[in-house]
Amino acid sequence: MALQYDREAAKRIVEIEKMRLAELNGGNLAFYNVAKRVIDVTGALFGLLLLSPVLATVAILIKLDDPKSPVLFSQTRIGKHGKPFRMYKFRSMVPDAEQKLAELLDRNEIKGAMFKIKEDPRVTRIGRFIRRTSIDELPQLINVLKGEMSLVGPRPPLPREVAEYTEYDKLRLTVNAGCTGLWQVNGRNRLSFEQMVELDLEYIRHRSIWGDLKIIFRTFKLLLGAKDAF
């Protein structure tokens, strides 16, 4: 998928884009929003119950790897309309990973307001496996139940990332953040930040229950051995 992103052009069209999204967010999405919430709650509950043996096993392995550190990691992320919330993940890095981040910023492999490096020295032995298979993301089903996230939507950014956003970039914050989305099923970390923004806005413009279900299905296909996850 060829995606073009021009920040100067974005400045000129951002107001038009805001108007388009505001119109789409009107009453014609009332049924979609209700149905989406029902799917979110049902899917999150079913997922937590079905995957409880996996969740318990991963928790034990993380604890055995480092008995003194917590199993879960929570981090402030930015959700719909810029509202911060605590997002949950299985801990896949060393306990002082946030403190070590400053030393690694110059090794960022993704251009734009996002940080990713493939061989991150902060990742633990268990962390490499659960990140590669995206198992580390499963605790976010709790965020879905709380209404802070949806099963499908743009990935929630960090506050320091949002601080670098243009007004155009911020349009991706007009809907609930998601556990998966078009970015995850169309290349994930192989894509640039600009391409991620365009995919998020494409999702927001054309979102539907059928579209959400297709993204969830494609996510399941990629879940095991996802080579673009790191």
Confidence of residue 40 (pLDDT cuts 50, 70, 90): very high
**Residue 141 to residue 148: CA distance in whole angstroms:** 10
Convert 177-215 to b/e letters by CB count within 10 Å (16 or more is b): bbbbbbbbbbbbbebbbbbbbbbbbebbeebeeeebeeb
- Interior angle at CA 86, CA 222 and CA 126, nearest 5: 45
Is 230 within the bounds of a domain?
no
Domain count, the chain: 1
Residues 6+ apart with CB under 8 A from 189: 109, 110, 116, 118, 228, 229, 230
- Do the beta carbons of residue 201 and residue 172 sit within 8 Å? yes
Is 18 within the bounds of a domain?
no
pLDDT at 140 > cutoff 80 = yes
Tokens of 125: 């032995």
Which one, of 135, 139, 143, 198, lies nearest residue 169 by Cα?
Answer: 198
Is 117 within the bounds of a domain?
yes
Is 209 within the bounds of a domain?
yes
Confidence of residue 35 (pLDDT cuts 50, 70, 90): very high
**Residue 62 to residue 25: CA distance in whole angstroms:** 42
pLDDT at 151 > cutoff 60 = yes
pLDDT at 5 > cutoff 50 = no
Confidence of residue 20 (pLDDT cuts 50, 70, 90): low
pLDDT at 68 > cutoff 90 = no
**Residue 107 to residue 119: CA distance in whole angstroms:** 10
pLDDT at 229 > cutoff 60 = no
Higher pLDDT among residues 87 and 117, named by residue: 87
Confidence of residue 163 (pLDDT cuts 50, 70, 90): very high
Is 136 within the bounds of a domain?
yes
- pLDDT recorded at residue 95: 80
Is 228 within the bounds of a domain?
no
Confidence of residue 1 (pLDDT cuts 50, 70, 90): very low
Is 39 within the bounds of a domain?
yes
Q: How far is C-alpha 110 from the geometric centre of its chain's CA atoms?
A: 15
Average predicted confidence (pLDDT) for the chain: 83
8-17, 49-58, 137-146, 179-188 — which is least confidently predicted?
A: 8-17
What is the rounded (10 degree) CA torsion for 79, 178, 159, 193? -130
Higher pLDDT among residues 223 and 38, named by residue: 38
Mean pLDDT of 31-44: 94
Is 16 within the bounds of a domain?
no
- pLDDT recorded at residue 230: 43
Query: In a 3-state reduction of DSSP, which class is residue 116?
Result: coil
Mean pLDDT of 58-79: 92
Read off the amino acid at residue 22. A
Domain range holding 180? 23-223
The per-type count for the chain, helices as H runs and strands as E runs, is: 10, 4
Tokens of 145: 């139940």
